[in-house]
Copies of this chain bind each other. A is one copy, B any other.
Amino acid sequence: MIEVSSTKNNFVKELKKLSKKKYRQEQGHYLIEGLHLIEEALKSKANVTTIIMTHQGQELLTELPLTSDKRAYYLLSDDVFKSVSDVPAPQGIMALVKLEQVNSLKNLSGRLLLLDNVQDPGNVGTMIRTADAAGYAGVVLGEGCADIYNPKVLRSMQGSHFHVTIVEANLAAIIFELKEKGMGIYGTELNPEAVDYRLLKCAADFALIMGNEGQGVSSQLLQLTDKNVYIPIIGQAESLNVAVAAGILMFSLQS
């Protein structure tokens, strides 16, 4: 157990850098915070290399299945922990997890969610969590999406990246591959001339594309789909939040 009580400590400086994608890739690790996420990581056999705690957080250790252990343990003073933490009321426990080689979609069967330039980390994380809940097999992040190891994405994902396959890829290329496999491809639009989602007859397996918060799915991708659907707005709101729209569609579209 290594004790740290200064924010100038090198280990602490390295931890702070992990809020940036560039450093996560350099260091090959990302940071997860809170008991629930660490439990999910251990259950899913993710490579949890380091546990970081406060004195109070140390009491949570007994709740974790940490047997025969080659992990490093750091005990941080409350102040130092807070300086690294991403939440207003930290539980006092974090862990470093090794970045895994991104999985491929090959040999994956089931429904997929494709995200086109979804920039808000909370939206990306929430949609991955919802895809998990809806029993989707994977999520493909196209260009412009928030990084899944971004602290805010991790927080809203609630460990779902340990359950569903997540791939970063060019969406146009992926769509061609999926079509060759016989999957249905459905885009989403704000345009009432698209198909009302309640009337869509879905293929047995399909991919659903959700788009950017402001612009929606790019017109280039909308031309590659089998059908484009929309959710009719009844009241005066101009649109739905993209993560809410994704939830309505994923729980409603059935083959």
Contacts and interface: CB of A to CB of B under 8 A. Distances in A.
Could you say how many copies of this chain the assembly holds? 2
Contacts of A231: 251
Contact of A237 (B133, B235, B248, B252): B133
A235 B132 contact: yes
Contacts of A245: 247
Interface string A127-138: 001111111100
A190 to B, nearest CB: 11
Interface string A205-241: 0000000000000000000000000010111111111
A150 interface: no
A235 B126 contact: no
Interface stretch (A11-19, A69-77, A141-149, A155-163): A155-163
Contact of A247 (B131, B134, B239, B244): B244
A184 interface: no
A136 B244 contact: no
A219 to B, nearest CB: 22
From A130, A159, A164, name the one whose CB has the most chain B CB atoms within 10 angstroms: A130
From A136, A237, A252, name the one whose CB has the most chain B CB atoms within 10 angstroms: A237
A243 interface: yes
A90 interface: no
A122 interface: yes
Nearest to A126: B241
Contacts of A236: 132, 160, 163
Interface string A39-75: 0000000000000000000000000000000000000
A234 B133 CA distance: 6
A247 B243 CA distance: 9
Interface string A187-208: 0000000000000000000000
A129 B237 contact: yes
22 contacts: A122-B122, A126-B243, A126-B244, A129-B240, A130-B240, A130-B244, A132-B235, A132-B236, A132-B237, A133-B234, A135-B235, A158-B237, A159-B237, A160-B235, A163-B237, A231-B251, A241-B247, A243-B244, A244-B246, A244-B247, A247-B248, A251-B252
Interface of A: 122, 126, 129-136, 156, 158-160, 163-164, 231, 233-241, 243-248, 251-252
